[in-house]
Amino acid sequence: GQQVMQIPQYQHVQEGEDFTTYCNSSTTLSNIQWYKQRPGGHPVFLIQLVKSGEVKKQKRLTFQFGEAKKNSSLHITATQTTDVGTYFCAGHNDMRFGAGTRLTVKP
Amino acid sequence: DVKVTQSSRYLVKRTGEKVFLECVQDMDHENMFWYRQDPGLGLRLIYFSYDVKMKEKGDIPEGYSVSREKKERFSLILESASTNQTSMYLCASTPYRVNQPQHFGDGTRLSIL
């Protein structure tokens, strides 16, 4: 199956700081999905990107899909304690997930 | 709203036992998936199914089998449980249409002693 690499594995930030996680694929993706898993919870769908170069926003979250459709990023502006969790990307070619980035936020 | 229900939240079994993990979805989804989640490794695909009685191996099928006798139910079977199968197991489903998000169950935390 495709390889979807996600970095960093962990990120600890002070509340109010920004946060970015990156997802890279070895192959071109038809689309990419992002999920959030709260501690003790299950992954919950956030958004899907389909078009080359696409940028989508959800309040403080900005999602980007690379021009070559091989990479993607999730950026959170001014993190809050409610952003705590693990963020996963998934290449939709065959639903392989990245290893996730675990975000912790210090109040 | 889509509901994916896993039969057990926590399960403790012994080495060598045959273990069944059950997953039921209520939205008539064609596709169902089993993942295991381990720290630092993310979600790894064990098996998936596109239709009743159909199954495809994922990335780590060794030691597991699956059963899909009815559309709404997808079972994961550990033929002879081993300690390295201690993990969180997550079931998910999607409709057949492309570009649809996965809906996950709450997970089963399985411990093999």
Binned at pLDDT 50, 70 and 90, residue B12 comes out as very high
Residues whose CB falls within 8 Å of the CB of residue A68, separated by 6 or more in sequence, listed in order = A28, A52
DSSP assignment of B28-51: --SEEEEEEEETTTEEEEEEEESS
Nearest-CA residue of chain A relative to B45?
A96
Q: Distance between CA atoms of A1 and A27, rounded to whole angstroms?
A: 10
Note whether A63 and A49 are within 8 A (CB): yes
pLDDT digits (tens, 9 = 90+) for A58-87: 999 999 999 999 999 999 999 999 999 999
Nearest to B99 among A43, A50, A99 (CB): A50
Average pLDDT over residues A48-65: 97
Q: Distance between CA atoms of A23 and B99, rounded to whole angstroms?
A: 18
Class of residue B70 by CB neighbours under 10 A (exposed 0-12, middle 13-18, buried 19+): exposed
Whether residue B45 and residue A1 make contact (CB cut-off 8 A), yes or no, is yes
Binned at pLDDT 50, 70 and 90, residue B87 comes out as very high
Nearest to A88 among B33, B43, B105 (CB): B43
Nearest-CA residue of chain B relative to A32?
B99
